[in-house]
A and B are shown apart, each in its own frame.
Chain A
Amino acid sequence: MAISRRQFVVGGAVAGAGALVIGVRLSGHLVRAQESDAGAKKPAPNPFDAYVHVRPDGHITLIVAKSEMGQGIKTGLAMILAEEAEVDFNSVSVEQAETRPDIYAHMGTGGSGSTQENFTPLRQAGATVRALMITAAAAKWNVPAAECEAKKGSVLHEKTDRQASYGELIEAARKLPLPNPEKVELKDENDFELIGHATPRVDIPSKVNGSAKFGIDVRVPEMVFAVVARCPTFGGKAAHFDADKAKAIPGVRDVFEIPAMGADKFSAGGIVVVADSTWAAMKGRDALAITWDHGAAASESSEGISDALRTAAQKSGARLRNDGDVDAVLSNGAKKVEAVYEMPLLAHATMEPMNITALVRAGAAEVWAPTQSPDWVQGTVASVLGLKPDKVIVHTMLMGGGFGRRYMADFPAEVAQIAKVVGKPVQLVWTREDDMTHDFYRPATCHRLRGAVDASGHPVAWFHTLASTSIRGYWDPKADAAEGESGGARQLPYAIPNVRLEFNGVNSAVPRAWWRSVEHSFNGFVVESFIDELAAAAGEDPMKFRRSLLVKPPNWKPRFEYDPDPARLLGVLNLVAEKSGWGNPLPKGKGRGIACYHSFGSYFGEVAEVTVKGNDFRIDRIVAAVDCGQIVNPESVRAQTESAIIYGLSAALKNQITIKNGAVEQTNFDAYDPLRINEAPLIEVHLLKSTEDPGGMGEPALPPVAPAVANAIFAASGQRLRKLPFQFKAA
């Protein structure tokens, strides 16, 4: 068995020690301050320590401090570094960073933020490397630095025909003072050779031959496997259990209980079965006899949650936006439209179920985690074990999907509880059933919309009441739950004089957290459906109606955080209209629907084409136009667009989580079946060129797809679908 030297730092410290120091460490830090999560200022990291490791033999490794879940971040961030550092992308290695929050300001991968956060800092880090190499070469040759040029990992001096590789220069470069990264000259965008150019992803070859190592593929000597029997009801626990039959299963080594822990119940607690193989552990769990105490939430049901949401949507709530006088307009004679929209709980259902591997020894721990938040894993494991975080080594593994689920620290807390007892490397595996029934779900919501158009067809009022089993309300029932989940509703981009948004939270024991695009997944559907309803009430073409309302005054400034720029939204609306052939006649039974939406710094216009037949409909194609600012890897922008659209369609067409007797009813892909190849429409993606700062790409293609489809079905059939997943019946 070949073990890389970076394994077993805890189990065999000697083997790991030398291998962890890669590249050349410089003294001192860059002076630029970065803001950490806690808001504390800390110095920007030395790029040689943190991002660009240059070995004297010339080998260059680019370090990526974000987690890879298929979004192509290992490629994209490395491209940014390589561009400014002037290294040959084809000859570098790309490596996952160690979990060192002291070096990397923010290691969490979420909120579509990795490129947004890192674009400028990594350009500065790369440019610092280039500047130091040029300075070192100029000094060595005694020529002006301005006459030297860096290319493909070497510095050239054309006049004297001299050349030195970065490897040859690193010894001298490390002795130079670090420049202020904010003042280092960055490349002109017109000179970009990597950024903006389609680049094959570095992680793909290992993903076609089985060699890519996901968290569940971690194999270390003497490891054992564990599964946990958790109470099906949220907040419940084992009243009694009998492990005799489980212990009789060949391969089962131990059975013990772990308690629920943390104020936020990061670990649900349960009965742990440890065995020689995952299969033996699963069979051992099946053989347990457990009497559950189902707890206080055992009577909760989806019907109850839906009723509470519908009631809450009819009440006045916390006012989050209030322009003009909505009441006056709605009580006047204008043409009124009223609609209620409903959306269910959703599971993430990553293809790789939750899992994590850990080894705990005296005073230290080592963890192999497929995680979006290695620093949170580190902190959680440390806190469960009573260790300082720097005594916990966390290796960030590839993830078989994240979508927000792998930001959570519940499975890390569990494995810490288990590994402490086991004393050997232990892999905690969640079965699909565990994964689906103990997720942190997308909230269920109900929205009441009231609007009005005047006699000339102009919309004059918009009143949105949002009721949600909110995420913040789960983490802290006393929190102002509204703020975090009004995104996209509060930032309604259309020029309507009277606008009000109100929020009411509904409590539930069902855990909730971030699901791909978070609140935009519901607010986007509502906003882009209801604007279509107003267009229909006004007798206007839905594209032209939106176009007339996307007005950017000359002195426009964002009113709210993340307020979309109306001109950029109009840009993608126009592009998608053009590319989809908007307005061209369609045969009877077919319809087109449009939506445009901003989230996470990127703008999307999407058009769906559907065919309606009897009680059924088919999506023929989706056309998408994207303005995500400066594009780093167009290949990844296209792939992420396709991915978010399919993920959004799974929710629009098929998926929901329902609760009965306090537990999730769906346990596997038979009852919660994401879109399959025969259901996937053709997707066309059109990219808008831009030099604006990069926007996010993991999520923003998702929110507009469900309303585009619903609007297309309306166009084809006259039927409005306001509830997800869609249930279409011929009129």
Chain B
Amino acid sequence: MAAIQLIINNASYEVDVAPDTPLLWALRDKLNLTGTKYGCGMGLCGACTVHLDGEAVRACQTPVSLVGAKKVTTIEGLSPDNSHPVQRAWIAEQVPQCGYCQPGQIMSAAALLAKTPKPSDDQIEAAMVGNLCRCGMYQRIRRAIHRASLSQAHGAQAYVAPAYCGGASSGGSAAKGA
């Protein structure tokens, strides 16, 4: 196995994996970037969605050997402090339940809004149809995308979360990752 260079969230990484290894497993098992989730391994559920040069792709269907010089953005790289308009809208609309699919949902939504700042309901459906949410939070996702779109356009006031919502670790418990 030869080391493969990757640019992830604007940092350089070297991973020593077989070239056919999906980006998903390089991120999760070699680089401890566990925000990108495994759901189906077949590109059917969207839980592993990341950006390659701004395009939403399924990391489970993207061998590391094909990433090349393209910049990878994962959920961890979207913003340092939950300040991306999509993240703010997701908190304001209280979108996640179990939350497992949400990194993928958010990455799909962020890619949509980057290209289509004011998406219609049909455009939202077309961009999000590949992202399953077993908790069924679809109408909140729809609302949150509209909210993020408005806040991008008008610089709507930032959603101020209560202090107890501020920490990145409030949902975790015993085993915090690397």
State the interface size on chain B (CB cutoff 8 A).
77
Cβ of A213 < 8 Å from any Cβ of B? yes
**With A208-B91, A209-B78, A396-B173 known to touch, is A90 a contact of B162 (CB < 8 Å)?**
yes
User: A399 near B35 (CB under 8 angstroms)?
Assistant: no
Q: Is the interface of B mostly helix, strand, loop or mixed?
A: loop
**CB within 8 A of B161: which of A200, A279, A429?**
A200
A96 within 8 A of B: yes
A432 surroundings in chain B (CB, below 8 A): 39-42
A368 and B165 in contact (CB under 8 A), knowing A278-B28, A639-B97?
no
Residue in A1, A203, A403, A670 whose CB lies within 8 Å of B44: A670
Which residue from chain A places its CB closest to the CB of B83 in the assembled complex?
Answer: A209
Closest chain A CB from B41 CB (angstroms):
6
Task: Report whether A214 and B134 are in contact in the complex, using a CB–CB cutoff of 8 Å.
Answer: no
A250 CA to B167 CA, complexed, in Å: 39
Given contacts A216-B38, A219-B177, contact A210 B171 (CB under 8 A): no
* Residue B170, interface by CB 8 Å: yes
Contact A4 B137 (CB under 8 A): no
* A680 and B136 within 8 A (CB): yes
Which interface residue of A277, A350, A647 has the most chain B CB atoms within 10 A?
Answer: A277
With A680-B138, A683-B139 as contacts: A210 and B25 at CB distance below 8 Å:
no
Over the window 666-677 of chain A, the binary record of Cβ atoms lying under 8 Å from chain B Cβ atoms (1 yes, 0 no) is: 001110011111
Let me know if A400 and B169 touch, CB within 8 A: no
Q: In the assembled complex, which residues on chain B have CB atoms less than 8 Å from the CB atom of A647?
A: 134-136
A36: Cβ under 8 A from any B Cβ: no
CB within 8 Å of B: which of A634-679? 635, 639-640, 642-647, 649-650, 668-670, 673-678
Q: How far apart are the CA atoms of A646 and B36 in the complex, in Å?
A: 24
Residue of B nearest to A675 (CB): B136
CB-CB under 8 A from B154, the residues of chain A are: none
Cβ 8 A contact of A674, one of B30, B78, B132: B132
Instruction: Flag the segment in A68-76, A167-175, A489-497 that touches B.
Output: A68-76
Residue contact A397 to B170, C-beta cutoff 8 Å = no
What's the minimum C-beta distance from A608 to chain B, rounded to whole angstroms? 15
Q: Are A217 and B177 in contact (CB under 8 A)?
A: yes
Which of these, A94, A279, A351, contacts B101 with CB under 8 Å? A351
A413: interface (CB < 8 Å): no
Assess whether A731 is interfacial by the CB under 8 Å rule.
no
* Shortest CB distance B12–A (Å): 19
Contact with B along A185-209 (1 / 0, CB 8 A): 0000000000000001111111111
What is the chain B residue whose CB lies nearest that of A648?
A: B136
Nearest chain B residue, comparing its CB with the CB of A670: B44
Q: Which residues on the B side are within 8 Å of A6 (C-beta)?
A: 174-175
B140 at the interface (CB under 8 A from A): yes
B19-55 residues with Cβ-Cβ distance < 8 A to A are 21-22, 25, 28-30, 32-42, 44-45, 47
Set of chain B residues within 8 Å of A92, measured between Cβ atoms: 164
Complex interface residues of chain A between 209 and 266 (CB less than 8 A to chain B): 209-214, 216-220, 225, 250-251
B161 surroundings in chain A (CB, below 8 A): 200, 205
Per-residue contact bits, chain B 65-102, to A (CB 8 Å; 1 contact, 0 not): 00000000011101100100001001100111111111
Q: How far is the CA of A279 from the CA of B42 in the complex (A)?
A: 13
B30 CB contacts on chain A under 8 angstroms: 277
- What CA separation (Å) do A201 and B161 show in the bound complex? 10
Q: Are B97 and A71 in contact (CB under 8 A)?
A: yes
A704 CB, nearest partner CB in chain B, Å: 15
Which B residues from 93 to 116 make CB contacts under 8 A with A? 94-103, 106
B118 on the interface (CB 8 Å rule)? no
Max chain A Cβ within 10 angstroms of own Cβ: one of B17, B39, B95: B39
Query: Which of these, B133, B164, B166, B172, contacts A212 with CB under 8 Å?
Result: B172
Q: How far is the CB of B109 from chain A (nearest CB, A)?
A: 11
| Chain B contacts for A72, CB-based, 8 A | 97
CB distance from A376 to the nearest CB of B (A): 18
Residues of A within 8 A of B139 (CB): 642, 680, 682-683
Q: Which residues of A contact B76 (CB under 8 A)?
A: 209-211
The CA of A349 and the CA of B134, in the complex, are separated in Å by 8
**What distance in Å separates the Cβ of A543 from its nearest Cβ neighbour in chain B?**
25
A297 to chain B, nearest CB (A): 27
The proximity string for A residues 681-693 relative to B, scoring 1 for CB distances below 8 Å and 0 otherwise, is 0110000000000
Residue in contact with B171 in the complex, picked from A212, A251, A279, CB distance below 8 Å: A212
Known: A351-B101, A432-B41. A70 touches B135 (CB 8 A): yes
Q: Write the A334-365 contact mask toward B (1 if CB under 8 angstroms, else 0).
A: 00000000000000011111000100000000
Q: How close is B151's CB to chain A, nearest CB, in angstroms? A: 14
Q: How far is the CB of A185 from chain B (nearest CB, A)?
A: 27
Interchain CB contact under 8 A, A3 and B131: no
Bound together, the chains give a CA A89 to CA B163 distance in angstroms of: 9
**Taking each of A216, A279, A683, which has the highest tally of chain B beta carbons within 10 Å of its own beta carbon?**
A279
Q: Is A409 an interface residue (CB 8 A)?
A: no
Q: Does A91 contact B (CB under 8 A)?
A: yes
Residue B125 at the chain A interface, CB threshold 8 Å: yes
Chain A residues lying within 8 Å of B142, measured Cβ to Cβ, are 677
CB atoms of B173 and A208 under 8 A apart: no
CB distance from A676 to the nearest CB of B (A): 5
A93 within 8 A of B: yes
A210-B174 contact given A219-B34, A639-B137, A678-B129, CB 8 Å threshold: no
Is the beta-carbon distance between A90 and B137 smaller than 8 angstroms?
no
Additional A-B contacts beyond A202-B170, A210-B34, A643-B135 (11; CB < 8 A): A94-B170, A203-B170, A208-B95, A211-B168, A211-B169, A212-B172, A213-B34, A352-B39, A402-B98, A646-B135, A674-B132
Give the interface of B toward A (CB within 8 A): 1, 17-18, 21-22, 25, 28-30, 32-42, 44-45, 47, 74-76, 78-79, 82, 87, 90-91, 94-103, 106, 124-125, 128-129, 131-142, 161-178
Q: Which A residues lie at the B interface, using CB under 8 A?
A: 1-4, 6-7, 68-72, 74, 89-96, 200-214, 216-220, 225, 250-251, 276-280, 282, 349-353, 357, 368, 395-403, 429, 431-432, 635, 639-640, 642-647, 649-650, 668-670, 673-678, 680, 682-683
10 tightest A-B CB contacts, nearest first: A210-B35, A646-B136, A400-B100, A70-B97, A207-B99, A395-B174, A70-B98, A206-B171, A96-B173, A210-B75
